Amino acid sequence: MSSFKHNWTKSEILEIYNKPLMDLLFEAAKVHRKHHDPNTVQVSTLLSIKTGGCPEDCGYCPQAARYHTNVEGNDLMSVQQVKAQALRAKASGSSRVCMGAAWRNVKDGKEFDDVLEMVRTINKLDMEVCCTLGMLTENQAQRLAEAGLYAYNHNLDSSEEYYKEVISTRGFEDRIKTINNVRKTNVTVCSGGIIGMGERIEDRAGMLVALATLNPQPESVPINALVAVEGTPLENEQPVSIWDMVRMVATTRIVMPETQVRLSAGRTQMSQEGQAMCFFAGANSIFAGDKLLTTPNPDVNEDMKMFELLGLNPQKPFIKKMQPKTIEAKDSHFKDLGEKPKWTRPEHKIPRNENAKIKSKNLK
Ligand code: SF4
């Protein structure tokens, strides 16, 4: 448990978010410099190990099977393919590989066993390994931890209230339950959300309340700006302004001082000046690589040029926490339980998600 303030309220967070910008930036930069090296930025590479065909209805996501988008699905990558990509990421300065699979939840069996082998393989390359695989039971979290997983990503996406306007196929409480399952292991928690989905500023504050009142707070918080993809229910949302992004990053930094605040989706819409302001406001992590799962991301070389220009250095792996030990499958203490957990499936329907589904059916 940490000694940071954990009883943040929405009104306290709103007060910070709405400060005059110069005061907000100054305060966030002070907190940032107290807890982090301001010239070091952690670089992660996001790898889509299984793309598309997801049964969920997340309104922002082109990988949901029900929406008609241009995303081409693929089956689970092989361990060798993942290893090759991880080596490439390491050579270009990434200290972490985050593997994403478009699944509702992890299912015990061959595919999960393959993912565990991918985790072992990347950890042995002395890189931090993160996975984002959907909902997770405690036993599955333990098995990932044994394989050498460093972090598990499971975003809250928005406030509990606005979440119901974006996703209907699982509840906010399922997200919290998965985070709690990860917390029972020594794997670190990565959890954040998306702005620009039509939410109010109160919802942004609500999401930060949900994250900052976790004890311990997440080690990593990605802040995404919506990339509105044609065919998804949110295709017509307007891009988030840089000022909103800077305010969100600065507020996150102030309420979660030790956390790594990650600039995630939406960086292609941001100028270098805008990103520099986010780094000043406390962002200290980015996703590198030309794609973020399925949406565009700045070119790695462009990022390295920006680092040079700003005098930033990529962070080495295992600075915040020791490298986990990898236990081989044959020595595992946690067996495949063949679990079939009952995650919630709320009954409500979201009109814009339903409309997108009907529209995409007609297009096929
Ligand atoms: S965000 Fe994840 S869970 Fe939601 S539809 Fe996309 S792949 Fe599926």
CA distances for 120 relative to 36, 212, 324, 326, 327, angstroms: 29, 31, 10, 6, 8
Structure tokens at 2: 């940490």
**Has 98 been labeled as part of a binding site?**
yes
Q: What is the pLDDT of residue 280?
A: 98
Is 2 within a domain?
Answer: no
CA distances for 168 relative to 55, 56, 179, 351, angstroms: 11, 8, 19, 10
Q: What is the pLDDT of residue 293?
A: 62
Contacts 24+ apart (CB under 8 A), 178-184: 178/135, 178/136, 178/154, 179/154, 179/214, 179/218, 181/136, 181/137, 181/138, 181/140, 181/141, 182/136, 182/141, 182/152, 182/154, 183/216, 184/138, 184/141, 184/142
330 contacts: CB under 8 Å, gap ≥ 6: none
**Whether the CB of 54 sits within 6 Å of ligand 1:** yes
**Whether the CB of 49 sits within 6 Å of ligand 1:** no
Q: Does the pLDDT at position 93 exceed 90?
A: no
Q: What is the pLDDT of residue 357?
A: 87
With cut-offs at 50, 70 and 90, classify the pLDDT of residue 363: low
Distance 306 CA to ligand 1 centre (A): 31
Is 345 within a domain?
Answer: no
Atom 2, ligand 1: residue with shortest CA distance: 102
Q: What is the pLDDT of residues 64-76, one digit of tens each?
A: 999 978 787 789 9
Calculate mean pLDDT across residues 26-40: 98
Is 186 within a domain?
Answer: yes
151 forms beta bridges with 130, 188
Q: Does the pLDDT at position 2 exceed 80?
A: no
Instruction: For residue 202, give the nearest of 339, 4, 10 by alpha carbon.
Output: 10
Structure tokens at 250: 């600065």
Q: Exposed (0-12), middle (13-18) or buried (19+): which is 274, by Cβ within 10 Å?
A: middle
Is 343 within a domain?
Answer: no
Is 355 within a domain?
Answer: no
Q: Does the pLDDT at position 298 exceed 80?
A: no
Is 340 within a domain?
Answer: no
Q: What is the pLDDT of residue 301?
A: 81
Distance 256 CA to ligand 1 centre (A): 26
Q: Does the pLDDT at position 300 exceed 90?
A: no
Instruction: Work out how many domains the chain is built from and give that number.
Output: 1
Q: What is the pLDDT of residue 359?
A: 83
Q: What is the pTM of this model?
A: 0.95
**Has 131 been labeled as part of a binding site?**
no
Is 325 within a domain?
Answer: no
Alpha-carbon span 38 to 184, nearest angstrom: 31
Q: Name the percent of the chain lying above pLDDT 90.
A: 80
Q: What is the pLDDT of residue 291?
A: 65
Contact 58, 331 (CB under 8 A): no
**Has 278 been labeled as part of a binding site?**
no
Specify which of 89-93, 101-105, 289-293 reaches the highest per-range mean pLDDT. Answer: 101-105
- DSSP designation for 54: B
Helix (H, G, I), strand (E, B) or coil at 42: strand
| Atom from ligand 1 closest to the CA of residue 102 | 7
Mean pLDDT over each residue of the chain, to the nearest integer: 93
Task: Choose which residue among 61, 136, 343 to substitute to test ligand 1 binding: the one with the highest number of ligand atoms within 8 A of its C-beta.
Answer: 61
**Whether the CB of 194 sits within 6 Å of ligand 1:** no
Q: How many beta carbons lie within 10 A of that of residue 80, not counting itself?
A: 10
Q: What is the pLDDT of residue 18?
A: 98
Which ranges of 215-326 does DSSP label H, i.e. alpha helix? 242-255, 272-280, 300-310
More confident residue, 291 or 258: 258
Distance 63 CA to ligand 1 centre (A): 6
Q: Does the pLDDT at position 364 exceed 70?
A: no
Distance 345 CA to ligand 1 centre (A): 14
**Has 262 been labeled as part of a binding site?**
yes
More confident residue, 358 or 161: 161
With cut-offs at 50, 70 and 90, classify the pLDDT of residue 132: very high
More confident residue, 295 or 23: 23
Q: Name the percent of the chain lying above pLDDT 70.
A: 96
Q: What is the pLDDT of residue 297?
A: 67
| Domain boundaries, position 111 | 10-310
Is 356 within a domain?
Answer: no
Catalytic residues: 54, 58, 61, 98, 130, 190, 262
Q: What is the pLDDT of residue 1?
A: 52
**Whether the CB of 27 sits within 6 Å of ligand 1:** no
Q: What is the pLDDT of residues 197-249, one digit of tens each?
A: 999 999 999 999 999 999 999 999 999 999 999 999 999 999 999 999 999 99
CATH number at residue 225: 3.20.20.70
